[in-house]
Structure 1
Amino acid sequence: MRQQWIDRNFTRFLGIPAAATVSWTTGNGDLHWGNLTAEPLVILDWEGWGLVPTGFDVGLLHAYSLRTPATAARIRNTFSHILDAPDGRTGELIALAQLLQVAARGGHPELGPHLASRAGHLTGSPIPQFQPSPGISEGGA
């Protein structure tokens, strides 16, 4: 994740201006259920670790959970101290924008409407609708 990607894609996928300031922290950068083990909990897939926006990892895990409302609610409750803080909200929006980009390319079609709904709830703005297109590249995300 790079600031240039945020600047270029925030409006494109969320319909709002890019975050003026982003707080960065060390993170996995690809936190989803396929990268977590059962007890004992182990986080897998660290090849893309590095600086990520604060709240990005937990925002990503929450976003991947939106199809299961009880799980999404539990994540929001457990990590509310992160996701409800301004920096965490920004990180969650960046995670949503990244996944909306994936959805625009045809990935996670079942998740796309949930992502748009959550992003719209956070931004208070309509989310641009994108049809999957093979010509859209990830652009450094």
Structure 2
Amino acid sequence: MYSPPPDPTDAQRLADAHDKAAATLGAIPRGPLVWGWHGRTLSRRADHPEHGACWLRLLAAPADQAGGKLWTGTADAAHSVPHAVHRPELHGLHDHSDGTNAYRAELTSYVSSPACAPSPVLRRELALTTPWWSSLRTSLKHLAATRTGRVAVRQEWADRAVPRFAGVPAPQVTEWVTVHGDLHFANLTLDGPVLLDWEGWGIGPYGYDAALLYLYSLLAPATAERIRQTFADVLDSPHGRAALLIVATELLQSASRGDHPELVAPLRALVSNVTGA
């Protein structure tokens, strides 16, 4: 869930680290604090004398776990993902550590348009325009062709996880493209759309982003159907069905840890439909 850490001491520690990063980057924080998934990130609007309105996001991790794909996602996207993919512009980075915990602060352009939803699981229908859907498809097309050494999903993981959590043999992915990796309506803005949160992007199965957006929207059937129609050429292909099964597995694995249990029944129904089980 999007919430502060359960321990108020941790919440204050991150708030202090956010203030320190803002001062170092020359930004003045304004507005409310915005917590990320399980309090792992902390963000806030900020003003900068050169860049104007910005967004300052702080990522925290134990010092011995800092680094890696999630740590460098925003910076890697700034260097590699073309501007044809609508995303915030990176203005500055700041890394520091208190010895026990490490922090990375990212100063990006401020996106004034709100996100389409407050959390990944869509719980209400959205009325998005045809140009909005066309723009999303264009961004994903340019992203798919981006060259990167980052990996979002591995076949080895699917081979282990699909039988365990979905109860069916793992599909063998034969077409790999570059994907956003966390495409849901909390990471898409009402205007544009602008694609937010670039922590997990990298190589993944063809159709992965469309499948993730679709499965996170199953509780809003009209919107889910619009996704299905918009990406019919992707999701109705053999590659797309493999992506649906892999994404369903990921969300079922997440549900086994207590996240979005309300999706379990529709996800299992989808697995049965995709596999004919």
TM-score grouping bracket, smaller chain normalisation? 0.7 to 0.9
Name the one with the larger helix percent.
1
Task: Report if the CA contact (8 A) 1:59-1:91 is conserved.
Answer: yes
Q: Give the alignment of 1:35-114 within 5 angstroms.
A: 35-114=187-266
Deviation at residue 22 of structure 1 after TM alignment:
3.4
Q: How many Å separate the matches in 1 of 2:243 and 2:177?
A: 10
Q: How many Å separate the matches in 2 of 1:20 and 1:60?
A: 18
Task: Report if the CA contact (8 A) 2:165-2:253 is conserved.
Answer: yes
| Paired positions, count | 125
TM, length-normalised to structure 1: 0.84
Task: Report if the CA contact (8 A) 1:22-1:90 is conserved.
Answer: no
Task: Report if the CA contact (8 A) 1:62-1:75 is conserved.
Answer: yes
Q: How many Å separate the matches in 2 of 1:122 and 1:24?
A: 20
Q: Which amino acid aligns with 1:110?
A: E
Change (3 A) 1:110 1:21: closer
What is the match of residue 131 of structure 1? none
Tell me whether 1:121 sits opposite 2:273 in the alignment. Answer: yes
Tell me whether 1:2 sits opposite 2:154 in the alignment. Answer: yes
Q: How many Å separate the matches in 2 of 1:21 and 1:117?
A: 22
Deviation at residue 42 of structure 1 after TM alignment:
0.6
Q: Which runs of 5+ in 2 are unaligned?
A: 1-152
Task: Report if the CA contact (8 A) 1:24-1:52 is conserved.
Answer: yes
Deviation at residue 100 of structure 1 after TM alignment:
0.7
Aligned to 2:262, the other structure's residue is in SS state: coil
Between the aligned residues of both structures, percent identity stands at 51
Aligned to 2:182, the other structure's residue is in SS state: coil
Q: Which runs of 5+ in 1 are unaligned?
A: 126-141
Task: Report if the CA contact (8 A) 1:65-1:72 is conserved.
Answer: yes
Higher relative contact order (CA 8 A, sep 6+): 1
Tell me whether 1:29 sits opposite 2:181 in the alignment. Answer: yes
Q: How many Å separate the matches in 1 of 2:181 and 2:158?
A: 14
Query: Deviation digits for residues 5-47 of structure 1, max 9, x if unmatched?
Result: 1010111122221113432100100111110001121111112
Question: Displaced runs of 4+ in structure 1, greater than 6 A?
Answer: none
The CA RMSD measured in Å over matched residues stands at 1.1
Name the one with the larger strand percent.
2
- Equivalent in 12, 15, 24 of residue 167 of structure 2: 15
Deviation at residue 54 of structure 1 after TM alignment:
0.7
